[in-house]
Amino acid sequence: MQRSAERIATISAHLNPSPSHQMEGLSAANCRAKGGSPGFKVAILGAAGGIGQPLAMLMKMNPLVSVLHLYDVANSPGVTADISHMDTGAVVRGFLGPQQLEDALTGMDLVVIPAGVPRKPGMTRDDLFNINAGIVKTLCEGIAKCCPKAIVNIISNPVNSTVPIAAEVFKMAGTFDPRRLLGVTMLDVVRANTFVAEVLGLDPREVDVPVVGGHAGVTILPLLSQIKPPCSFTPAETEYLTSRIQNGGTEVVEAKAGAGSATLSMAYAAVKFADACLHGLRGDAAIIQCAFVSSQVTELPFFASKVRLGRSGVEEIFPLGPLNEYERTGLEKAKKELATSIQKGVGFVKK
């Protein structure tokens, strides 16, 4: 009888976390099902937004995640309640507003940041800068204080500037580890694989297109000469595919006609990349993806290229490999614009 009463009290406290029902250790935040699998602690900052919500749902489905913290400045309690009902192993906890940011971050292994405002028709990623730059700076100050050893995945646009902002914040805090800061460019790779597969009549899952440079317009450089499986393209096909991959975000913004940006495909790509980071943290071998990282591949301080992920984050950065003339020309264009975007991010923190 006593055990039965305890079980009833446990269920009651979990469903009704009012002061009259909260026994010690039985709050909704602390109550978890028995048999939850061990794994990594992941925080999503901006979890109630257009990218954050599907991202949170997909991360809740990941068997490598044991604890999932959902933070936002609005609406995170509702998103948390909704996602916490999914019958997967990860324990979900919600955090609302700047006063709870430190609690959301403490002890995390991986922090994913989709926070910020989305693109609207006619907006460039640079138009987002003034709003999103400040958001990323504040969140990274919290990371530096509460989980300086965490792997950080930056989604907030413009990635070409927000990653340098994060790096400067971490440098000022004395916690910067270039291996642990990664700008998520996976959506460019996902699009490249999809669009190339359409042209070739293949399953996108069988296609691998390296995409280097950055994460905006001409800084996105798909290396079609290095595609797997090997394939050659006519100049017209190369131009069409490169342009479509570079302007994939605009394609979605215009199609949604003011109702949002690429939120669902971005969430898919973000989870695909976060999963690769978690497999690296677990010690799995040969986890290779493209990401925008601190790099010596070019003369620029940051550059997207293929990297090998491991227990420390980025454990190896691969060279670009042989480029054809079209790609070499594209690389010079990309570097010119990237240099400006990187400096803009650095300057924002140092001003």
User: Which residues belong to the annotated binding site for NAD(+)?
Assistant: 46-52, 72, 132, 155-157, 266
Q: How far apart are the first and last CA of the chain?
A: 67
Is 69 a known active-site residue?
Answer: no
Which residues neighbour 3 within 8 Å (Cβ) at sequence distance 6 or greater? none
Question: Of 45, 63, 15, 1, nearest to 162 (Cα)?
Answer: 45
User: Which residues belong to the annotated binding site?
Assistant: 46-52, 72, 119, 125, 132, 155-157, 191, 266
> Which of 69, 85, 215, 279 is labelled catalytic?
215
| β-pair type (181-183, 151-154) | parallel
Exposure string for 151-170, b = 16+ CB within 10 A, e = fewer: bbbbbbbbbbbbbbbbbbbb
User: Which residues belong to the annotated binding site for substrate?
Assistant: 119, 125, 157, 191
| β-pair type (220-222, 211-213) | antiparallel
Cβ–Cβ under 8 Å, residues 118 and 260? yes
| Amino acid in position 192 | A
Active site residues: 215
